[in-house]
């Protein structure tokens, strides 16, 4: 199925969880990452159980240091 992650199209398998998609798309530690799907924040403790749906619009936000 097709999903959009930060305005880029990705193809994932049916029954793909948010956690599985993040492991494929980010391929780096997930510290300091927040996720919104269709403009709704998904709590980190739900990532492994939240199933993605076709055409989901996902926004990944990574915290950075600065000043």
> What's the CATH number where 40 sits?
3.10.20.30
Is residue 51, in this structure, part of any structural domain at all? Answer: yes
Domain assignment present for 32? yes
- Which residues lie closer than 8 Å to 26 by C-beta, 6 or more apart? 33, 60
Q: What is the dihedral of CA 16, 57, 11, 28, to 10 degrees?
A: -70
Condensed to tens digits (0 to 9), the pLDDT of residues 14-32 reads: 999 999 999 988 887 888 8
Read off the pLDDT of each residue in 33-51 and give the average, rounded to a whole number. 96
In a domain, 67, yes or no: no
Q: Is the pTM of this model over 0.85?
A: yes
Q: Is residue 52 in some structural domain?
A: yes
14 vs 63, more confident:
14
Number of structural domains found in the chain? 1
Residue numbers of the domain that contains 25: 2-62
The answer as to whether 31 is a domain residue is: yes
């Amino acid at each position: 199925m097709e999903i959009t992650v930060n305005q880029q199209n990705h193809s994932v398998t049916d029954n793909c969880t948010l956690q599985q998609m993040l492991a494929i798309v980010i391929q780096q530690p997930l510290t300091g990452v927040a996720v919104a799907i269709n403009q709704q924040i998904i709590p980190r403790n739900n990532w492994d159980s939240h199933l993605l749906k076709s055409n989901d619009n996902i926004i990944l936000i990574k915290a950075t240091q600065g000043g």
